[in-house]
Amino acid sequence: MALNICIMKKITAIISLLLIATVTMAQDGNAGINEATNQVKSYFATGTNLMYAIGAIVGLVGAIKVYKKWMAELLN
Protein backbone atom coordinates (compact mmCIF):
# COMPACT_ATOMS: atom_id res chain seq x y z
CA MET A 1 0.00 0.00 0.00
CA ALA A 2 2.82 2.42 0.85
CA LEU A 3 4.48 1.54 -2.45
CA ASN A 4 1.32 2.47 -4.37
CA ILE A 5 1.12 5.84 -2.60
CA CYS A 6 4.77 6.53 -3.44
CA ILE A 7 4.20 5.64 -7.11
CA MET A 8 1.04 7.79 -7.24
CA LYS A 9 2.97 10.75 -5.80
CA LYS A 10 5.68 10.33 -8.42
CA ILE A 11 3.14 10.09 -11.25
CA THR A 12 1.33 13.16 -9.95
CA ALA A 13 4.61 15.09 -9.73
CA ILE A 14 5.57 14.10 -13.29
CA ILE A 15 2.17 15.11 -14.68
CA SER A 16 2.33 18.42 -12.80
CA LEU A 17 5.80 19.16 -14.17
CA LEU A 18 4.69 18.34 -17.71
CA LEU A 19 1.68 20.65 -17.42
CA ILE A 20 3.81 23.47 -16.02
CA ALA A 21 6.36 23.03 -18.81
CA THR A 22 3.61 23.10 -21.44
CA VAL A 23 2.06 26.26 -20.04
CA THR A 24 5.39 28.07 -19.73
CA MET A 25 6.39 27.16 -23.29
CA ALA A 26 3.13 28.51 -24.73
CA GLN A 27 3.58 31.90 -26.34
CA ASP A 28 1.13 34.52 -27.47
CA GLY A 29 0.77 34.62 -31.25
CA ASN A 30 1.28 38.37 -31.39
CA ALA A 31 4.51 38.12 -29.42
CA GLY A 32 5.84 35.56 -31.89
CA ILE A 33 4.92 37.70 -34.88
CA ASN A 34 6.49 40.78 -33.29
CA GLU A 35 9.70 38.87 -32.56
CA ALA A 36 9.88 37.64 -36.16
CA THR A 37 9.27 41.17 -37.43
CA ASN A 38 12.08 42.54 -35.26
CA GLN A 39 14.48 39.86 -36.48
CA VAL A 40 13.67 40.59 -40.13
CA LYS A 41 14.11 44.33 -39.55
CA SER A 42 17.49 43.77 -37.94
CA TYR A 43 18.73 41.81 -40.98
CA PHE A 44 17.30 44.21 -43.58
CA ALA A 45 20.10 46.79 -43.48
CA THR A 46 22.75 44.08 -43.67
CA GLY A 47 20.94 42.40 -46.55
CA THR A 48 20.68 45.69 -48.39
CA ASN A 49 24.42 46.33 -48.07
CA LEU A 50 25.13 42.77 -49.22
CA MET A 51 22.97 43.29 -52.33
CA TYR A 52 24.81 46.55 -53.11
CA ALA A 53 28.15 44.74 -52.85
CA ILE A 54 26.99 41.89 -55.08
CA GLY A 55 25.61 44.42 -57.61
CA ALA A 56 28.92 46.28 -57.64
CA ILE A 57 30.89 43.09 -58.29
CA VAL A 58 28.53 41.98 -61.07
CA GLY A 59 28.75 45.47 -62.61
CA LEU A 60 32.54 45.43 -62.56
CA VAL A 61 32.70 41.97 -64.13
CA GLY A 62 30.28 43.09 -66.84
CA ALA A 63 32.27 46.26 -67.49
CA ILE A 64 35.49 44.27 -67.85
CA LYS A 65 33.84 41.91 -70.34
CA VAL A 66 32.54 44.82 -72.41
CA TYR A 67 35.97 46.50 -72.34
CA LYS A 68 37.66 43.30 -73.52
CA LYS A 69 35.19 42.93 -76.42
CA TRP A 70 35.75 46.54 -77.48
CA MET A 71 39.50 46.10 -77.39
CA ALA A 72 39.24 42.86 -79.40
CA GLU A 73 37.19 44.64 -82.08
CA LEU A 74 39.61 47.55 -82.25
CA LEU A 75 42.59 45.24 -82.73
CA ASN A 76 40.91 43.27 -85.54
Q: How far is residue 36's CA from residue 33's CA, in Å, rounded to a whole number? A: 5
Examine the pLDDT at 21 and tell me if it is beyond 70. no
**Does the predicted model carry a pTM greater than 0.75?**
no
Predicted pLDDT at 73: 87
The model's pLDDT over 39-59, given as tens digits with 9 standing for 90+, comes to 888 888 888 999 999 999 999
- pLDDT class of 1 with cuts at 50, 70, 90: low
Q: How far is residue 59's CA from residue 30's CA, in Å, rounded to a whole number? A: 42
